[in-house]
Amino acid sequence: MGTMTPLPAGYRTVEVPQSRHRDLLVLDTWAFPSTVTDDQLEALPMSLTWDRARGVETDEGELVAVHGSYPYQQFPVPGARTAVSGLTWVGVHPAHRRRGLLSSMIDDHFTRSLDRGEAVSALFAAEPAIYGRFGYGLAASDLRMKIPRGAALRDVPGADGLRVRLERLDPDRHGPLMQAVHGRVDRPGWVTRHTPEQLAAYVSDPEYWRDGAESMRIAVVSAADETALGYALFRRKSSWQDAGPRGIVNVREAVAQDAATARALWGVLLDLDLMATVETWLLALDDPLWFLLVDPRAAQPRISDNLWIRLLDVPTALAARRYSAPVDVVLEVTDERLPANAGRWRLVGGADGAKVTRADASVDLSIDVRELGSAYLGGVSLAALAGAGLVTEHAPGALRQAAVAFGWPVLPVCSWIW
């Protein structure tokens, strides 16, 4: 068990039941300013499952801080799937900041996650500087682009034989299709909306969220037998200037199970009439689109942080994933917040599994739990972290062996923000 930050006098930790839905939303708009009214927000589908919503209230009963988590029981990690607690809805009222409320909630989240057998926590960070001090490491980055309409793509055999249909998004009709196609992708971090509440919230499309653009559309790529192979959620926004139409296509999510599907999908999205730019986000750094572009520089690529990972139970988490090469290494782990993780661990693993045990042997690598989280999904190299002075090698050759083993041939990403 880890340390528990005590709340100051006048505050207490509470469950947040569904009956306090509006209290949660009012607090959330204090933490994250919004032009949407409380009534509008309350009418939207709620992504949380209420049994995992927690908060802090004053002695007078005012809810002033909140956090929740999603129950990802099949979260993709290198070569396997494991239970992950997806931290979300974290917010503190601005009048109650700098009093330790966030620290207390993070400790509460760690304790409850461990009690449920969730050895890993993951999140998207509104402010990246916050979570490193709690042991979260940046484990996945994503690629965002602004691609000129008509950008040339390289040819892919089989793409011409696929059908792409464009339709208005219908949650009842397209929701199951999206779940099935998204779930077939094998990529670390690529978690599919896990609960009905998450899917309903994700496909919700109120007019006041569109910023003048059209309602959500979906492009579906199908084989000759009508089997869905990929899809993209997108919307267009018209813009007329002296030089002519300069509309923007915003692609919210793109999913393709192979190269031909990706080529067919992007071939349509990059050639919509009256548009000038196609904006993409949350693509993996090795997404096929990047390599299909004849002129990638014109796409104005930008990299942003994606998933942050925190190992709550180091031996269980490391044993849950697979490794790209045989590895036998003793890690000296530091963890100020969860002392049970600290100390020496021997990791013996490979493509078929891994075993992690306490060790009294000499240390091969020294690493903090934050950097271990960064390397966990296989997208951040231990060698790169060592180059930044964040991992220390004690035995010659240990860093190279571990870096190769922890790496993964498919880079991690999550295609949607929870």
Pair of tokens at residue 405: 């083993």
Could you tell me the CATH number of the domain that includes residue 334? 3.30.1050.10
CB 86 within 8 A of CB 72: yes
- Is the domain of 161 the same as that of 280? yes
CA-closest candidate to residue 155, choices 294, 287, 268: 294
- Has residue 247 been placed in a domain? yes
Say yes or no: 295 and 341 in one domain: no
Is there a domain that residue 60 lies in?
A: yes
Residue 23 lies in a domain: yes
| Same domain membership, residue 294 and residue 200 | yes
Based on the domain organization, do 193 and 298 belong to the same domain?
yes
H helix runs in 88-184, sequence order: 101-115, 128-131, 171-183
* Same domain membership, residue 244 and residue 194: yes
**pLDDT tens digits, 122-171:** 999 999 899 999 999 999 999 999 999 999 999 999 999 999 999 999 99
Mark whether 261 and 151 lie in a shared domain.
Answer: yes
- Distance, in Å, from the CA atom of 30 to the CA atom of 94, rounded to the nearest integer, reads 7
Helix (H, G, I), strand (E, B) or coil at 278: strand
Query: Looking at the domain assignment, is residue 79 inside a domain?
Result: yes
Helix/strand/coil for 337 = coil
Within this chain, do residues 133 and 198 fall inside the same structural domain, yes or no? no
Q: What pLDDT shows up at residue 5? A: 85
Burial of 331 (0-12, 13-18, 19+ CB in 10 A): buried
Q: How many domains does the chain have?
A: 3
Domain boundary, last residue among 139, 169, 190 = 139
Q: Which two tokens stand for residue 14?
A: 């509470």
Picking from 81, 113, 139, the residue at the C-terminal end of a domain is 139
How much is the pLDDT for 254?
98
Separation between Cα atoms, residue 190 and residue 187, nearest integer Å: 5
- Determine the distance from the C-alpha atom of residue 188 to the mean position of all C-alpha atoms in its chain, rounded to a whole number: 10
Task: State the pLDDT at residue 1.
Answer: 55
d(CA 354, CA 314): 12
Closest CA to 359 of 347, 371, 344: 344
Q: What is the pTM of this model?
A: 0.96
Q: Do 291 and 247 lie in a common domain? A: yes
Model confidence pLDDT, tens digit, residues 291-326: 999 999 999 999 999 999 999 999 999 999 999 999
Residue 1 domain flag: no
Q: Give the residue numbers spanning the domain of 207.
A: 143-304
Shared-domain flag, residues 181 and 122: no
The span from the CA of 332 to the CA of 363, in Å, is 6
Q: Give 10-residue mean pLDDT values along the chain (418 residues).
A: 82 98 97 94 94 97 98 97 98 97 98 98 95 97 98 98 98 96 97 94 94 97 96 97 92 97 98 98 98 98 98 98 98 98 98 97 98 98 98 98 98 97
**Domain end residue (candidates: 117, 139, 161):** 139
- The CATH number for 194's domain is 3.40.630.30
Does residue 87 fall inside a structural domain? yes
CA 68 – CA 50 distance, rounded (Å): 8
Residue 214 shares a structural domain with residue 325: no
The SS3 call for residue 19 is helix
Per-residue model confidence (pLDDT) at position 3: 67
Sheet with 327-334: list strands edge to edge: 353-358, 343-350, 327-334, 365-368, 391-393
Does 205 reside within a domain?
Answer: yes
- b/e for 145-171, b at 16 or more Cβ within 10 A? bbbebebebeebeebeebebeeeebeb
Task: Tell whether 284 is covered by a domain.
Answer: yes
**326 and 226 in one domain?**
no
Same domain? For 162 and 22 the reply is no
